[in-house]
Amino acid sequence: MAIKFNRSQTFATGGTVTAAALHNLIDGTDIYPAIITDQSALTTVSTADKMLIADTDDTVNAKSVTVQELFDDALSAGTYTNANLTGQFSYGTATGNRTVSTSASITTGTINNATLGTTTGTAATLATGAITNLTAGTTTSTAANITNGTVQTLTASTANISQGSASLTSGTIATLNSTTGTIGNFSTTLVGDLTISTGSATVGTRVAVVNTAQEYTAAHNFNATTLVSGNSIAWNLQTNQVARLVLSTTGTMADATNKVDGATYILLVTQGTGSNTLDWDATYKWPGGTKPTLTTGSAKSDIFTFISDGTSLFGVAVQNYS
């Protein structure tokens, strides 16, 4: 068994023991590590277990402290420049720089400056930094709020980019909401709708835009639709810019809905039974104020072309196709 104490005061056999020597025996005794290392090992430590500690505010008496009190006070008040922690580590609020060498699972919170390899979490808010490979959000959670930085591979149900810019080199965003900022180079295949509510977008030559002159190298056309024959015939111009009408009875073209100033519309009317007539609402305007007379005869067709001022439709007729 190892020596636990070093006595600086010795006594001769049969000698005289003085009070001063006894004081020296106690005051000058050094304690060796064996007083701890020779004890039975404790494999499980409870937060209520106690330790002996030297209190800097009391130089006379040693004090006892529980494990819980030791770590609560030391970790909250102290600063640790190099702390290497392994195993499961849970903490509330952390400030400063934190380096995790292997992996980290973050369910909520804010990382002010992050350089991450692979991160998986239900939600992450990053002020700045780079994520090499991010899988964030599930079908039951919100995804990632990225204010600045680079995401090389992103798979997320929803991504909200509130300001600045984000670079996505590959991956899928089911819903992208960019409220403020710039999408500098947007090259991808869109499945669904792309809506730009304010501002403008610069696109390549394969996309038609409303404020740029373009030359088409392939045919573009309206989807031809069919109006319903009847006594009063409705024409919704918003969904039927080029329309067909096969007359099965005499009818009247009602006032067309959703007229747009400057827009053109085409109506192809074909006789179904051969002798039906077609009248026109007063909002249809004709040269000289004279309404055209529909060509009669089974399968005979007339073509009516209109331009609108937003209130009326000004038309011309080309007739008697068979």
**Do 244 and 306 have their domain in common?**
yes
Residue numbers of the domain that contains 198: 103-211
**Do 146 and 230 have their domain in common?**
no
**Do 171 and 108 have their domain in common?**
yes
pTM above 0.85, yes or no: no
- Given 211, 246, 273, which residue is the final one in a domain? 211
- Given 150, 182, 211, which residue is the final one in a domain? 211
Does some domain include residue 66?
A: no
**Do 205 and 118 have their domain in common?**
yes
How far is 204 from 157, CA to CA, in rounded Å?
27
In Å, how far are 125, 214, 252, 302 from 106, measured between CA atoms?
A: 10, 49, 68, 69
**Do 200 and 152 have their domain in common?**
yes
- pLDDT at position 140 is 43
Backbone φ and ψ of 77, nearest 5°: -100, -20
In the predicted structure, residue 77 carries a pLDDT above the cut 50:
yes
Q: Domain containing 233 — which CATH number? A: 2.60.120
pLDDT band at 129, cuts 50/70/90? Answer: low
**Do 179 and 128 have their domain in common?**
yes
**Do 255 and 296 have their domain in common?**
yes
- pLDDT at position 189 is 59
- How many structural domains comprise the chain? 2
CB atoms within 10 A of CB 156: 24
In the predicted structure, residue 121 carries a pLDDT above the cut 60:
no
**Do 109 and 203 have their domain in common?**
yes
**Do 187 and 253 have their domain in common?**
no
pLDDT band at 160, cuts 50/70/90? Answer: low
